[in-house]
Chain A
Amino acid sequence: MDINSACKECKEKTRISYKYDGRFFKPKLLSINHLQLGNSKLLRNPIVLMIEWLLRQFRHLRNRLQAFGKRLFPRRSKVSCHRADSQLVGSIHFAERDQLDKPIHNLRIEFWGRTWWLQWRLLSAGYTDYDGNFSLPFELRQARNWKVIRTQFEAYQTTHVYFKNDTPTLHFERCYLELIPVSNLTGMRYNLRTINLSLWEYRRDTNVPRTKIVNVTNNAPQYYTQGRLDALYQQIVPLELIKIKHLAQIAYAPETISLQEIQTDYAENLTRCIEKKLPGYTRSDEWFGERIMNGMNRGSFLPDKNEPNIYWVKYFGVCNYEHNNEYALPTTEIKFEIQEHGFPRPLAIHLTGPTNAFHKNPWQKKIVTKSDGEEWMFAKRVARVAGGFSTEVDEHFTGTHLNTEQYAIAAYRNFRQNPLACLLFPHLKEVALINHSADKIIIHGYIPSATALTEKGIHDRTRDILGMQDWKNWEPMKVLCDQHDCARADRLFWEILVEYVEDFFEKNLTNIQLHWREVYHFSKDLVEHAVPVFLSDKDLHKLSPAERKLAEDRFEYYSFQYGFDTTATRAVVNGQLKTVSPITTAIRFEDALLDDIPNIKQACCYAIMMATYMHTWINEHQYDDMGEVLYNCGGLRFGDKERGIMAPESDLGIAPDLTRSTQMLWLTNLLSRTEYGFITKNEEGDVNPVFSKLLLAKREEFEKLGVDVHAIESRTNI
């Protein structure tokens, strides 16, 4: 069978589609908090399902009553005030213990009265100023009118943006309520003192900027939309049942289950499909090169310093991170030859580090080429695994999830009246929530048990990688050959994004300038909470020559891989050279430099790019490249043989064990099949239609590059 048509057929067949439906007695996941690496808490008992149904009906009824109540007692925007002779004053600050004097600016605040017959009267409305202070003028006689039974002060945070016919509407949710006894209002000013709000706080227990979330369902700065949860719950159940079955069999009757059976129970992925049609092809050099270039890995091909047409793809292993002694993760450097036509051709694979349980010298080197026979196959597998691990941890989790989260926190903390809220919020929402879940399931759960790094090792590694993520002068990777679809697609999306952002700025420049101070604070938060530049806080002279070389190699490669501009001017905060470049240092637009507008444009493009396209690419291709355990996995065990990980796929002693295998397939399915929130589908009406239109206009061009525009997510929420 023709290779191209076989691949095309399999890509079509294994393309993930997103259908959300569920029958009544189908097991249900009650909440995202109940997702676990082991047995997630599913409701399966019919009686429990009935009760759950009744509970849902009750909630439905309650919601309808509340909606009815809102219609019956509407909150009108007309302010009841003929002559303001009194004021509510106070200030609103953050609640973090070292930020008690940091003001929350431009927060919407309202002063309401409620009558005896439960009607609402708006007595005053306004915003906090940039010092967090507010002064709400109101009429004393209106507030103390005999009809008014109680008065209350409310503060609102901007949670969502919705678009109707290109016009954005900000959606506010109340984040603070204080009842004010009417008897306390005596005229002149009434001081509500300093109100401290826990609003998009930074965690204090992490070495990277993360949002403080106590509970993702009821104590978080934002929540998943119901649509997102429904999609997740409905899609996850079949996968969960498969995993539960496997785990039960492993626990009680391990002889009844094998890796093959585990693999077969899950949906067929791209590599298995192709193997069926073209046995051996997915282990070939051609496929290897193609997937490194255009698969999940989206490899960064660093040109060789000396030889033309020679490139290197590097996956750094355990390095100096805390690791276990069960899994191998050598540094893997793959030498490719790339001609103008055709896929990258692997020439050699350099492995640095232990490949078996006996020889643990971290600097031992092994170079494998095609002439080494079956060792070449083993080395390619090791490279795939190293690539899979690095892509998942470095590019996926750090480069998109954590990277996007730092922009999300800074944006939600600071953008309120600036139109940039409308530009960024639709794409930055929910990332903090999914990262919170990832902490439990992946960082604390799967990775330390199924790969070489411990949890601490992962934390240190993600901090280092985040130290190479900066918006300044970032560009998508260059196209190296006519098969480089990944780079072409990157560039195409970037062009659309830049056009969209330029258009947005053109329409909203006046208000962006008017509320420039929000941009200043956004930049300040981003920079101050950023991690230090990789290696900037280390004394390289204290390292051994080998360690220093590794560090320098990593810095060089990461700079290339992540488009990190080493010449950019960065801020030093508390003695640390911060990774994220300042966007502006001007509080007022009148004092802004010429570069500041281009800076904020580029920062917005970068944040949206990471949150949408970059995340989608890796997420979408995960199951293609990590949906077959023996082909690729999170980590290979050393095993107990001399050959270690340089062994055939048939050696199950080095492959993930049964538990890790089913967990890995569950995870990759979970991450690939439960997506919700796409730019073109715009399920919640929160994506700017202009963006959708621009993307749809290039649909065919994307299709030629193997990208379905309808599958590009509008945010990182899985």
Chain B
Amino acid sequence: MPKGVSIPKAIWIWLGEVVDKIVLWIYAKSFALLIAVFVSLRGRQRMSHNNGVAGEGWLKIVDDPEFPEHPFFEKGRQFPIRIRHASATFLDDAMNCIRSISLKFSHHHWKSPFDIEMNTGAQSLFWNALSFLKFAAMRQEKWGVEYVEYMRRYPDGVSGSEGALRRDPISFHNLHYYSKTPFLYLGTDGIKRYAKYRVMPADDEKETGIGTKFSSFDLPNQRVLPFETRGRNFLKYEYMERVEKLGARYRLQIQLRAASDDDDPEVFNNMVIWDDRIYPWVDLAYFNIEKVLDWKESTMTTFSVNNMPKTLGVLPAKSIYDYNSLNYMRSHSEIARKARWLSYKIYGMVPPIPDNDNRNNAEWGK
């Protein structure tokens, strides 16, 4: 019991913490259930990243690691790898979207010892469970315009959005992707650390599609530009061709910082970028993608933050205000994944995105 705190006060604090955790659990489970029923089961959809392409290859941990030793990330160790690139929210590659890469250290569509999901931009658009739910509730998408009121009210969402959106990238391959939220890193030395991950092209190819001039009021407009000539799937086609002709080689990096008892909660805030002069990015692994999977396999491929070793997993969260509550919610969304697979069994696989002129679309089959 902390010094100076009376017993009743301590009980009151403890009760408060319990209530916070219960509330967080309720939020996470309720949200997962809603997504499972209304999005996954009925719509046969993921929550957001439906428009994607998967590939397979091999990953190798670097031979001369500059990071603390960890049994999972043994130097030189190789893993089969499956990745999936996606454009968030919309079924049209030519829209101004956040792009993603998800990694799975496995060739299975589900089972894996290590999964990680990343998006473009070093900052996210939300920072805890509460703000994520507000983000979800305020989507109000219409004709390729979304989050209008959210952008008006949450300037940090705006800055995250400006950093994350990619319009007209040349390829999925040359984008930089970040995990944003920190994870646990408990190495062989037993020292507790926090880790963030990022993926970039292995050959330092320049990133494309980054916005520079942002309108103060038109950021929610993610629509295809007028007179766009490329089709709805151009980015996926480019990736397929790239993998077939050139291959796609990436590097996976890690950023670590030591944990302390008096850590400022902002350490876990995915809107706060760790200073890379103090916490530098170091190479963790390189991986090559040798073949692109078909639409069905790509759609089936699923990732989960629960697919991680305990020493590399999700950090505990205490409440819906806790910055770690984002990963908490992710880890409690299994039901949504299972509901989606069930929906495929009942209703069949979703059709590929057609190369038609129905632009600015977020609906399957149209």
A141: which B residues are within 8 A, CB to CB?
Answer: 321
With contacts A186-B128, A186-B130, A186-B134 known, is A191 near B154, CB below 8 A? yes
Interface residues of A in 590-631 (CB under 8 A from B): none
| Of A187, A189, A190, A191, most B-chain CB atoms within 10 Å | A187
| A85–B134 CB distance below 8 A | no
Q: How far is the CB of A83 from chain B (nearest CB, A)?
A: 8
Candidates B126, B128, B156; contact of A189 at CB < 8 Å: B156
Contact of A191 with B321 in the complex, beta carbons under 8 Å:
no
Q: How far is the CA of A190 from the CA of B130 in the complex (A)?
A: 13
Question: Does any Cβ of B come within 8 Å of A360's Cβ?
Answer: no
Interface string of A181-202 (1 = CB under 8 A from B): 0011011111101000000000
Closest to A183 in B: B134
Within 8 A of A (CB), among B2-57: none
**Is A140 an interface position by the 8 A CB rule?**
yes
Within the assembled complex, what's the spacing in Å between the Cα atoms of A715 and B182?
A: 64
Give the residues from 306 to 361 in chain B that come closer than 8 angstroms, CB to CB, to chain A.
321
Q: Which residues of chain A from 158 to 204 have a CB within 8 Å of any chain B CB?
A: 183-184, 186-191, 193
B26 CB, min distance to chain A CBs, angstroms: 15
Residue of B nearest to A193 (CB): B152
Known contacts A85-B265, A140-B321, A141-B321, A190 near B153 by CB under 8 Å: yes
Chain A's closest residue to B156 (CB) is A188
Q: How far is the CB of A133 from chain B (nearest CB, A)?
A: 11
Complex partner residue of A187 from B131, B152, B153, B155, CB under 8 angstroms: B131
> Does residue A89 face the partner (Cβ distance < 8 Å to B)?
yes
Q: Shortest beta-carbon distance, A528 to chain B, in Å? A: 27
Query: Are A187 and B128 closer than 8 Å at their CB atoms?
Result: yes
Q: Is the CB of A191 within 8 A of B128?
A: no
A residues less than 8 Å from B271 (CB atoms): 188
Q: How far is the CA of A191 from the CA of B152 in the complex (A)?
A: 7
Q: Does B127 belong to the interface (CB within 8 Å)?
A: yes
Complex-state Cα separation, A89 to B158, whole angstroms: 13
Is the Cβ of B155 less than 8 Å from the Cβ of A186? no
Contact A184 B153 (CB under 8 A): yes
Query: Which A residues from 54 to 104 make CB contacts under 8 A with B?
Result: 85, 89
For B266, give the chain A residue with the smallest CB separation.
A85
Taking CB atoms, residues of chain B closer than 8 Å to A140 are: 321
Q: By the criterion CB–CB under 8 Å, are B265 and A190 in contact?
A: no
Shortest B218–chain A CB gap in Å is 16
How far, in whole Å, are A85 and B152 apart by their CA atoms in the complex? 20
Q: How far is the CA of A187 from the CA of B323 in the complex (A)?
A: 10
Contacts of B152 in A (CB 8 A): 191, 193
The answer to whether A186 and B131 touch across the interface, beta carbons within 8 angstroms, is yes
A589 to B134, CA, bound (A): 46
- In the bound complex, do residue A191 and residue B155 qualify as a contact, i.e. CB atoms below 8 Å apart? yes
Please name all residues of chain B whose beta carbon is closer than 8 Å to the beta carbon of A191 when the two chains form the complex: 152-155
CB-defined contacts of B154 to chain A, threshold 8 Å: 186, 188-191
Query: Are A184 and B127 in contact, with the CB atoms below 8 A?
Result: no
Measured between alpha carbons, how far is A89 from B128 in the docked complex, in Å?
19
Return chain A residues, CB-CB under 8 Å to B265: 85
Query: In whole angstroms, what is the CA distance A188 to B154 when docked?
Result: 8
Partner among A85, A89, A183, A184 whose Cβ is within 8 Å of the Cβ of B155: A89
* CA distance in complex: A85, B128 (Å): 13
Inter-subunit contact B127/A189 (CB<8 Å): no
Q: Name the distance in Å between A447's Cβ and chain B's nearest Cβ.
A: 50
Give Cα A357 to B154, complex, Å.
74
A183–B156 Cα distance when bound, in Å, is 17
Do B153 and A188 have beta carbons less than 8 Å apart? no
B134 cross-chain contacts in A, Cβ below 8 A? 183-184, 186
Q: Cβ of B155: which chain A residues have Cβ within 8 Å of it?
A: 89, 189, 191
Residue of A nearest to B20 (CB): A141
Across-interface contacts of B131 in A (CB, < 8 A): 186-188
* A contact residues around B266 at 8 Å (CB): 85
Residues in B291-313 with C-beta less than 8 Å from chain A = none
User: Can you name the residue of chain A whose Cβ is closest to the Cβ of B160?
Assistant: A188
Find chain A residues with CB under 8 A from B126 CB: 186
- Neighbouring B residues of A183 by C-beta, 8 Å: 134
In the assembly, what is the distance between CA of A187 and CA of B265, in Å? 12
Map CB proximity to A onto B146-187 as digits: 1 under 8 Å, 0 otherwise. 000000111110000000000000000000000000000000
Residues in B neighbouring A144, C-beta threshold 8 A? 321
**Nearest Cβ on chain A to B219's Cβ, whole angstroms:** 13
Q: Provide the residues of chain B in CB contact with A188, threshold 8 Å.
A: 127, 131, 154, 156, 271
Residue of A nearest to B157 (CB): A188
Cα of A512 to Cα of B319 in the assembled complex, Å: 48
Contacting residues, chain B, for A184 (C-beta < 8 A): 134, 153
When distances are taken between beta carbons in the complex, the residues of chain B under 8 Å from A187 are 127-128, 130-131, 321
Cβ contacts under 8 Å, A189 to chain B: 154-156
Residue of B nearest to A190 (CB): B153
User: In whole angstroms, how far apart are the Cα atoms of A193 and B216 in the complex?
Assistant: 11
What B residues does A190 contact at CB under 8 A? 153-154
Closest to B319 in A: A141
**Cβ of B238 to closest chain A Cβ, rounded Å:** 36
CA distance A452 to B156 in the complex (A): 65
Tell me which residues from 67 to 90 in chain B have a Cβ below 8 Å from any Cβ of chain A: none
Q: How far is the CB of B111 from chain A (nearest CB, A)?
A: 35
**Chain B 266-308 per-residue mask, 1 if CB under 8 angstroms from chain A, else 0:** 1000010000000000000000000000000000000000000
In angstroms, Cα B154 to Cα A187, docked, is 9
Question: Complex Cα distance A193/B271, Å?
Answer: 21
In the bound complex, residues from chain B placing their C-beta under 8 Å from that of A186 are 126-128, 130-131, 134, 154
* Bound complex: CA A144 to CA B266 (Å): 19
- Residues of A within 8 Å of B321, CB to CB, are 140-141, 144, 187
Q: Which residue of A lies closest to B134 (CB)?
A: A186
Q: Which residue of chain A has the shortest Cβ distance to B135 in the bound complex? A: A186
* Chain A: minimal CB distance from B345 (Å): 37
Give the docked Cα–Cα distance between A356 and B56 (Å).
108
Bound-state Cα–Cα, A193 to B153, Å: 7
- Chain B window 96-128, contacts with chain A (Cβ cutoff 8 Å), 1 for yes, 0 for no: 000000000000000000000000000000111
| Complex CA–CA separation, A186 to B150 (angstroms) | 12
**A466–B161 alpha-carbon span in the complex (Å):** 54
Q: How far is the CB of B336 from chain A (nearest CB, A)?
A: 22
- Expressed in whole angstroms, the Cα–Cα distance for A188 and B321 within the complex equals 10
Instruction: Give complex CA distance A89, B152 in Å.
Output: 11
Complex Cα distance, B156 from A189, in Å, reads 6
CA distance A191 to B130 in the complex (A): 16
Cα separation A155 to B179 with both chains bound (whole Å): 41
Per the bound structure, the CA–CA distance linking A575 and B126 in Å amounts to: 51
Q: Cα distance A186–B126 when bound, in Å?
A: 9
Chain B residues whose CB sits within 8 angstroms of the CB of A85 once the complex forms:
265-266
Residue numbers in B under 8 Å from A89 (CB-CB): 155
A141 to B154, CA, bound (A): 18
A296 to B154, CA, bound (A): 62
Q: How far is the CA of A188 from the CA of B128 in the complex (A)?
A: 10
Identify which of A89, A140, A186, A193 gathers the most chain B CB atoms within 10 Å of its CB. Answer: A186
Chain A residues 411-461 with CB under 8 Å of chain B are none
Residue of B126, B152, B153 with most partner-chain A CB within 10 A:
B153
Shortest distance in angstroms between A585's beta carbon and chain B's nearest beta carbon? 31
Closest-by-CB residue of B relative to A140 is B321
Within 8 A of B (CB), among A118-147: 140-141, 144
CB distance from A189 to the nearest CB of B (A): 5
Q: How far is the CB of A380 from chain B (nearest CB, A)?
A: 69
CB distance from A137 to the nearest CB of B (A): 13
Please give, as numbers and ranges, the residues of chain A lying within 8 Å of B127 by CB-CB distance: 186-188
Q: Can you list 19 A-B pairs with a CB-CB distance of less than 8 A?
A: A89-B155, A140-B321, A141-B321, A144-B321, A183-B134, A184-B153, A186-B126, A186-B127, A186-B128, A186-B134, A187-B128, A187-B131, A188-B131, A188-B154, A188-B156, A189-B156, A190-B153, A191-B153, A193-B153
Closest 3 CB pairs of A and B: A186-B131, A188-B156, A186-B130
A-to-B contact residues, CB < 8 Å: 85, 89, 140-141, 144, 183-184, 186-191, 193
Please give 7 more A-B residue pairs, beta carbons under 8 A apart, in addition to A85-B265, A189-B154: A89-B155, A141-B321, A183-B134, A184-B134, A186-B127, A188-B156, A189-B156
